[in-house]
Amino acid sequence: MKAKIVLFLLICLCGYAYWHYDTNSFVMPKKIEITQWAKARVNREIMQVTKPVPPADVKKAYVFLKSKTAVYFSIRSGKVDVSIHSDALRKNTYFKVMNYVIKQLAAKKHLKDNDFIVILQDRTEDILLPKELAHVPVFVFAKDLEQNTSAIRLLIVDSFTLKSWTNIYKDLKKCKKSLPWEKKKSKLFWRGKTTDAADIEEFRLNSPRANLTKLTKENPVRYDARLTKILSTEPLLLAKVKKQCGDVVPFASIKDHLGFKYQITLDGLTATFPGYLWRMASGCVNIKQDSTDVQWFYELFQPNVHYVPVKRDLSNIDDIVQYAQAHDADMKTMAMRAHIVVEQELTPSKVFGYLVELLNAYAAKLDFKN
């Protein structure tokens, strides 16, 4: 029970930097665009639902889950009913954003009648359904391809991206004009927290994030990687982390990141969102940690084409940064290729279009006669 409470609190904290980036407004795109790739991707995702799903079974699955992070949405003629197991969830940013977006899209008649469950947590391996309800899917923000569960997990656009991507995208376009490739520093830049599943020394001192910050002390010419927060309540451990990684530094905005050619995407509890997306749109080269955690759009980007892969433990990171610095023209081309993919498939209007296509394709799988 204690572990679940800790996990829930970490969920609420995860991605704080992006809410800090813009907390005053929630701007949805003016139009919805559904691309051919989005249609094909949704079709592949929905193929996991192999038989009709009665709305009554969706409700039974929601009741069975009894999860504090499970939300049940029911849409009829543009009106949305929402069920949650805990009133505390109403204060959670994940919930507030998803609730707002679904109601807005339904009111504008973008969404068909539907009954579905969204799981508002990072890790979802513990989402289990009994055999008689195993045909009912749940929507999740990310999943580990190596972790099996009895529930069908369909990848949906995460709340952080829905909340912040429209504003981040606009700001990226402005910043890229004032910070072209030639004006960026040839250095890897990273800011973040010690996001780990447990507050133990093994994770805090030997995690990829901790190891990355150590490189800054060893070679400040190639790295500027610092911690902005140490998630620990143990004074002794706090002191050890500070000694190894240095004192924490202030939050860095996305604009601060754009002054450097090399960005790095590191998983937290799961895939980082919307960190991976904005880095691929940034005009910088993204060095992505090898991972089995995925989101709905990951297939669009290929290693050594759109980003540079790095081992999960970052043991080859120094070789990669040195190679990048020695092949500047190739890195500039790679950054441009990634940017083009974002423009083709992942602008705000297309991200919301993917969400609409996904929910409507799932709605077609519902059996409203039963």
What is the tens place of the pLDDT at every residue in 164-220? Answer: 999 999 999 988 888 999 999 999 999 988 865 555 565 567 788 888 998 998 999
CA atoms within 13 A on the CB side of 206: 5
What predicted TM-score, i.e. pTM, was given to this entire model?
0.89
Residue 35 scores a pLDDT above 90: yes
Dihedral, CA atoms, 155, 275, 179, 187, nearest 10 degrees?
Answer: -130
Domains of the chain, earliest start first: 53-156 (no CATH), 168-348 (3.40.50.2000)
What is the tens place of the pLDDT at every residue in 229-286? Answer: 887 777 888 888 888 888 899 999 999 999 999 999 998 878 888 999 999 999 999 9
Determine contact, residues 281/346, Cβ cutoff 8 Å: yes
- What DSSP state is assigned to residue 135? T
Residue 120: which of 64, 62, 58, 69 has the closest Cα?
69
The residue written with tokens 């010419």 in the block is 221
Residue 178 burial (10 A CB sphere; 0-12, 13-18, 19+): exposed
What is the tens place of the pLDDT at every residue in 318-367? Answer: 999 999 999 999 999 999 999 999 999 999 999 999 999 999 999 999 99
